[in-house]
Amino acid sequence: MSILRITGGRRLEGTLRVHGAKNSVLPIMAASILARGETIIHNCPDLADVNAAIKILRHLGCSVDKSNDRVIINSAQMTRSDIPHELMKEMRSSVIFLGAILARCGTAALSMPGGCELGPRPVDLHMMALREMGAKITDEGGSILCAANELLGCRINFPIPSVGATENAMLAATACQGTTIITNAACEPEIWDIQRYLRTIGVKVTGAGTSTIIVEGGEISANTEHHVIPDRIVAATYLSCAAASSGKIEITNVIPRHITTVTNALSEMGCRLKIYEDAIGIDATGKLTAIKPVITRPYPGFPTDAQPPLMAASLKASGTTVFIESIFENRYRHIGELLRMGADIKTEGKVAMVTGVSKLFGVPVESTDLRGGAALCVAALGAEGITDVSGLHHIDRGYDGFEAALAAIGADIVRVD
């Protein structure tokens, strides 16, 4: 077992480059099945979830080569339409292969996906969309079996905007006869990035980034290259690290408009920010204060994935900040560990009230999920003494070279076996 050993009290200074978006590259890797040719993905982060997706693609019969931040996928010789449980359980987003495999093969067999235990995240909306297109689906004993002699364009109206279900609907719609209109679609930037990729392989798709997406079905066969957008949650985490450590840093390879809600919150907290076209500077050397309630919402609202790091950055801000988590019911699992570090947090249902303290203290803590693990590291940077963070397999799912990046700007952080 490995741990991150963080000695707090070091002010972060310097420049960090944000790597490619995990939540963008994974569905694009799934979409590469549709190309029936070679896809070269640039700005691909080295993550546990990316490696899990590579295993799935190879199991399906695709060839995959990975070098630095580039992945080359050739799906021309894809031979299978099933994903076994041992591969599905490695990441929640593995369900995104469902729509792509069904579109390519007309049949798909998957088990229920794994990933962080953040509460119920049913795949019923995914299956609702595929059934609307004409797929026959059985869901028994933890397995999902899909088959369709023909997929037909239709109108799909999601009762709530779901990122994964929107992605699956988009990918499956590429094989439909006619036009598919997806309403109340998720508007996240990663959806827009998938649209960019699909257009490079000849799919007629419009509307990503709005609540209505239109996909024209048709034959696809193309070789292509794609540059993945920067990871907005990694950017938010690095900014939170600077805030917690009274640091002064600049992050590059970022799209500032994707995290406006986060930068607005940090500015209100007392950080001084400079927003550039593809970079953000933050100066958190002053005193931090509590801010108005932070309520997580689907994009363009405050992202649920950025809530734990921002909470950790607010632990020493004077006053009380209220966090309201409206997306995942188990998003507060990291709070127990923050309390052990000396934080003052009271929770009731979806609400967490954080009252700033003068000091935090380093203690052994354990990550229970991806963003909660990042939050523990953010808190450790602003704590006195040594914090040993375990459960790194969660953090490694979403952050490429996390400790090396922070060490490069002054953090005292090492990975210890």
Q: Are 397 and 368 in contact (CB under 8 A)?
A: no
Cα distances (Å, whole numbers) of residue 334 to 40, 124, 368: 37, 28, 7
Backbone angles phi, psi at 258, to 5 degrees: -75, -15
Cα–Cα distance measured from residue 194 to residue 391, given in angstroms and rounded to the nearest whole number? 31
Query: Which DSSP state fits 316?
Result: T
Cα–Cα distance measured from residue 265 to residue 242, given in angstroms and rounded to the nearest whole number? 14
Under 8 Å CB-to-CB from 398, ≥6 apart: which residues?
22, 47, 49, 231, 233, 234, 370, 371, 374
The secondary structure element, H or E, covering residue 215 is strand 212-216
Is 116 part of the annotated catalytic residue set? yes
* Active-site entry in 116, 146, 154, 241: 116
Residue 108 pairs with which residues in a beta bridge?
A: 146
Q: Judging by DSSP bridges, how do beta strands 38-42 and 224-227 pair with one another?
A: parallel
Backbone angles phi, psi at 316, to 5 degrees: -110, 10
Under 8 Å CB-to-CB from 132, ≥6 apart: which residues?
154, 155, 156
Under 8 Å CB-to-CB from 396, ≥6 apart: which residues?
47, 48, 402
Token code pair at residue 61: 């019969």
Q: Are 95 and 171 in contact (CB under 8 A)?
A: no
- Catalytic center residues: 116
